[in-house]
Structure 1
């Protein structure tokens, strides 16, 4: 802390700053400077803080440098210099200033270590940033240091270490809603839905407007087909953040699952308009348009999604479905491309087999059906819907007189009846603008 002479009015200067009375604070600082012939260290320091709060970082730097000239062994002004440099995106200089402040500090300062970790993250050195964040945890940085360490480890791809860092933070500190939501989302990603549900519920209990937790809980509920509860969570997330693209997209998908197509298209269109460079938003809108039997519009959206993310196999697969519905002979290329992007995906291989069968290429259909059966056998819990569709395709091939001796005999059991969307009655939907 800045060393102030006894009997000064520094206490009043500090009180006015923390109360947000910045105009009076600057006037008092000028009075103290005139009374001390511009040698009042704390006046320089507080004027720098006020200017930094106002976004005038270069002017704030000058005040902090004046403070450093008067008291060169104090790390506090140097920390504020580093903070100004960080806000100016001068991350290397900020890191060097924080290192100098660390040398001047008489004890391990978790604030300096966390700031060093953030600078290293901005410079792309995630491993070094994680080490500094770990030093911040050991120095008593609490929730901030632990959550920062977990985020850096996750960015480096070490999910196990990130989970351990979050567990340590939750065990040693009373964490806020943001940390609980991040830990819950990571638990969900790691395949632990029970613990994820507990953490996300705790985050929402602490802060009902925590939209990240609401989105993650809604995703879990949609996976379990609890659409009404998912809709309630998504509406709460949109109330807190009306411009959240992910909330609009998930709300549209949930409404589409409830067959409320007009509302679903509205939400998905809003998401795509808010994020025109998001391949996922374009993909979801294309899927909804395909379900609503508007293949030409669906093709435009899916083509945009494929241009943004060419290696996404499901987007390419949907393009093949759209082209087939439009009677375009380029559908075969799209199906083949999707299978090449994800050769181990049973759903894509089954769709390719169906395409071959519909085009009277029966031997190719048999080969793809055999590949699909092999992939399903390798799974611990085969998708019953895929198994049902495969059984239906094999029955159709047998009815066409195709020899199926090359197929595996132990195809996974199919408990779900096949729903052929191409054979369902036409619903009342808007005609495509072809």
Structure 2
């Protein structure tokens, strides 16, 4: 109807009606016919060159065509024609600057947009840009000011809640996420972040309900599939959990987080060879993550590979002040019969736990078990005690207990090992994949299609040569020459 009325006005006015050109351009832009829409806006500019509105629409069309530098220049021309500060132009300039890699300049434009009265859009954009600059506290402040000054929608509330959760403020995150879900019960971002928070606090049942809601809205969400698998693992539903984690890897074969979590589940299910394949991928994607390297060391040890010591050393060098890595290295020394080194590393772990701002009850309990095992083998401790906790953890059936229950028994079976403790890294809970633009969603779809094609040729999403590197009996003869991403580890 609008298009027909526009054409009628053009016929009556000899194709020189500016407003008719403008409306026809808006209709074409909404229909996705961007080049035709820009032609209409250029006609407006030719008829009256002092109006900034057609230039703003041209800049929008260029941005949608991924021509960000041209869009930036068009916004600058529109800003020159504007008689008053225009928050819409400033926000467009900030987005274009972000796209071309000049984030600092984008922050300046976003601040100008906030000062010009850009409201929720400018404030949320400023927060995202500050977060892209790794400025967490300023981003939180920007969200707080935006929410306090404007009646924000569910998307902004969900993003602010997820950032609060990332910053370690679960109470503030819960309020913001609850407000987002009150506005829009099917809001995917809020449901995913709230489920992650519930999962971190051990409430797997409530997390499962939220994750199902998130998957109903966004069935291709990698974080939701991964978190659902983790929630099922905490409830000892291993087959269902493995299925969800494998689906997450299928959707995102280049995600180090998804590979890490799947490898951890495979270790729980006593499949170290498959876990090693996933961890090799994860370390290749994220070679500086100490917990992933630690998992790789544990997998190598369970395969009987002597390169496990080098992997443990690598994890310790990446995180020398991580008590979790330290206690595992101490346990490895104990299992290998190096009691003196085990005692020294246990002492270092005890000191790390004492120096920490928050005593980890689970690690302190694990350290006590390790020292008891070492004492039973004849190790001598000099004034070494685990840190005393004000509220010691009782028998908890959380995910860490589930992991240790499934691994500790195996470590005691080998006669040459002395201390049978293994404390695996925590599960990596994801909740920040909701801020995905349409182009990224299309890329995810393409990755999934590629993964499905690869899966039709192989039973696992790993190269065929690497999968054949393991013998059917689980031995490691076939990958003696395999070099992981964190460095070449030669056999002793």
Asked if TM exceeds 0.5, the reply is yes
Q: Distance in 2 between matches of 1:173 and 1:71?
A: 35
Pick one of 173, 177, 185 that aligns with 1:196: 173
Q: Is 2:113 the counterpart of 1:136? A: yes
Larger RCO (alpha carbons 8 Å, 6+ apart): 2
SS of residue paired to 1:72: coil
Structure 2 residue ranges without an equivalent (≥5): 396-400, 412-471, 475-492
Q: Is 2:182 the counterpart of 1:230? A: no
Shift of 1:62: 2.0
Determine the structure 2 residue equivalent to 1:96: 73
Match runs of 1:205-354 below 5 Å: 205-354=182-331
Deviates more, 1:50-59 or 1:69-78: 50-59
Q: Distance in 1 between matches of 2:473 and 2:206?
A: 35
**CA deviation map 1:163-220 (0-9, x unaligned):** 1111111111111000000111111122221111111001011111111111111111
Determine the structure 1 residue equivalent to 2:363: 386
- The answer to whether the Cα contact below 8 Å between 2:268 and 2:406 also exists between their aligned partners in 1 is no
Pick one of 379, 387, 412 that aligns with 2:387: 412
- The answer to whether the Cα contact below 8 Å between 2:268 and 2:407 also exists between their aligned partners in 1 is no
Pick one of 20, 30, 37 that aligns with 1:60: 37
Determine the structure 1 residue equivalent to 2:150: 173
Determine the structure 1 residue equivalent to 2:96: 119
Shift of 1:328: 1.5
Q: Is 2:374 the counterpart of 1:403? A: no
Q: Distance in 1 between matches of 2:247 and 2:163?
A: 27
Q: Distance in 2 between matches of 1:57 and 1:422?
A: 59
- The answer to whether the Cα contact below 8 Å between 2:87 and 2:114 also exists between their aligned partners in 1 is yes
Q: Distance in 1 between matches of 2:196 and 2:172?
A: 15
Determine the structure 2 residue equivalent to 1:9: none
Q: Distance in 2 between matches of 1:380 and 1:57?
A: 56
Q: Distance in 2 between matches of 1:55 and 1:421?
A: 55
Q: Distance in 1 between matches of 2:207 and 2:38?
A: 49
**CA deviation map 1:136-173 (0-9, x unaligned):** 22222211111111111111122222111111111111
- The answer to whether the Cα contact below 8 Å between 2:181 and 2:191 also exists between their aligned partners in 1 is yes
**CA deviation map 1:67-103 (0-9, x unaligned):** 1111111111111111112122222221121122122
Shift of 1:399: 2.7
SS of residue paired to 1:73: coil
Which of structures 1 and 2 has the bigger CA Rg? 1
Shift of 1:292: 0.8
Q: 1:162 to 1:423 in 2, by over 3 A?
A: closer
- The answer to whether the Cα contact below 8 Å between 2:333 and 2:339 also exists between their aligned partners in 1 is yes
Shift of 1:133: 1.6
Q: 1:225 to 1:272 in 2, by over 3 A?
A: same
Determine the structure 2 residue equivalent to 1:73: 50
Task: Report runs of 4+ in structure 1 exceeding 6 Å deviation.
Answer: none
Determine the structure 1 residue equivalent to 2:354: 377
